[in-house]
């Protein structure tokens, strides 16, 4: 066996029998909080979008069952942002009462309107305050959008939690051994160190791990934790998301 692997003393508490008692580090708690935020936000977003979709479908149905009227244009303007969205304000009479409305509209329609002139409006006879210029109706949000948003947030939460699970398994049940840095590879977000480590049967395995902009020099000794059933699953000790519980 190479001298690199002879006589090494594992870090304090790493030589305990498995499973070791572990808990989260500050970074681990932060990542867990992110996972919970994604779950809560995904559920809230899914509920909100579903409610909006249902309301829009109901309003669309009420407009279908409504009536048409020639309203009187009271104002025309374009929004102040880069989109310069055309807007129209109008008033109409129904059942002895006057109702006000305002809506975005398509530019070709807007250009044909004039203050004091008519604009055809569709309104709900059950609730005349629900009204829209003809040709400006929008399709309601699809019901599946809320499910999609909630599902994507759930998937993101699971993927974010995987590093915690993997590191917890390594630190609790992984085998500790000595390793050393063999090379570096740089990328836009920092660098990756590549390392060799010795297995229980004396064979040598390889691993790699993203690090900051200042990786340990080539040849530097490392402490490695690896899965004895799958040595390709390895990590450098100390781990960033979990740590051993002090007794």
The backbone torsions φ and ψ at residue 6, rounded to the nearest 5 degrees and listed phi first, read -85, 145
pLDDT tens for the chain, 247 residues: list them.
455 555 566 776 787 778 899 999 999 999 999 999 999 999 999 999 999 999 999 999 999 999 999 999 999 999 988 889 999 999 999 999 999 999 999 898 899 999 999 999 999 999 999 999 988 888 899 999 999 999 999 999 999 999 999 999 999 999 999 899 999 988 777 889 999 999 989 899 999 998 877 888 999 999 999 999 999 999 999 999 999 987 6
Angle at 40 between CA 35 and CA 42, to 5 degrees: 90
Which residues are bridge partners to 131 per DSSP? Answer: 123
Closest CA to 234 of 213, 206, 214, 211: 206
How far apart (Å, rounded) are the C-alpha atoms in residues 173 and 206? 19
CB 65 within 8 A of CB 124: yes
Q: pLDDT tens across 18-30, in order?
A: 889 999 999 999 9
CA-to-CA dists, residue 168 to 28, 196, 228, angstroms: 10, 22, 15
Q: Which two tokens stand for residue 102?
A: 């305002």
Q: pLDDT tens across 136-154, in order?
A: 888 899 999 999 999 999 9
């Amino acid at each position: 066996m190479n001298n690199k692997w002879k006589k090494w003393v594992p870090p304090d508490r790493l030589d305990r029998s498995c499973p070791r008692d572990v808990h989260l580090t500050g970074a681990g708690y932060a990542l867990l909080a992110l996972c919970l935020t994604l779950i809560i936000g995904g559920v809230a977003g899914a509920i909100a979008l579903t409610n909006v979709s249902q309301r829009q479908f109901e309003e669309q149905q009420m407009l279908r069952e409504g009536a048409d009227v020639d309203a009187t244009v009271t104002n025309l303007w374009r929004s102040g942002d880069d989109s310069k969205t055309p807007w129209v304000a109008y008033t109409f009479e129904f059942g002895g009462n006057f109702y006000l409305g305002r809506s975005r509209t398509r530019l070709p329609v807007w250009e044909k309107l004039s203050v004091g002139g008519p604009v055809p409006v569709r309104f709900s006879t059950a609730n005349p305050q629900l009204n829209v210029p003809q040709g400006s109706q929008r399709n309601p949000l699809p019901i599946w959008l809320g499910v999609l948003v909630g599902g994507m947030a759930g998937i993101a939460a699971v993927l974010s939690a995987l590093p915690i699970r993997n590191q917890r398994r390594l630190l609790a049940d992984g085998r500790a051994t000595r390793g050393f840095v063999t090379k570096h590879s740089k990328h836009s977000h920092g660098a990756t160190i590549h390392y060799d480590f010795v297995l229980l049967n004396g064979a040598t395995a390889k691993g790699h791990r993203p690090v900051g902009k200042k990786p340990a020099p080539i040849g530097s000794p490392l402490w490695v934790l690896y899965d004895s059933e799958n040595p390709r699953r390895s990590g450098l000790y100390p781990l960033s998301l979990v740590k051993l519980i002090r007794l």
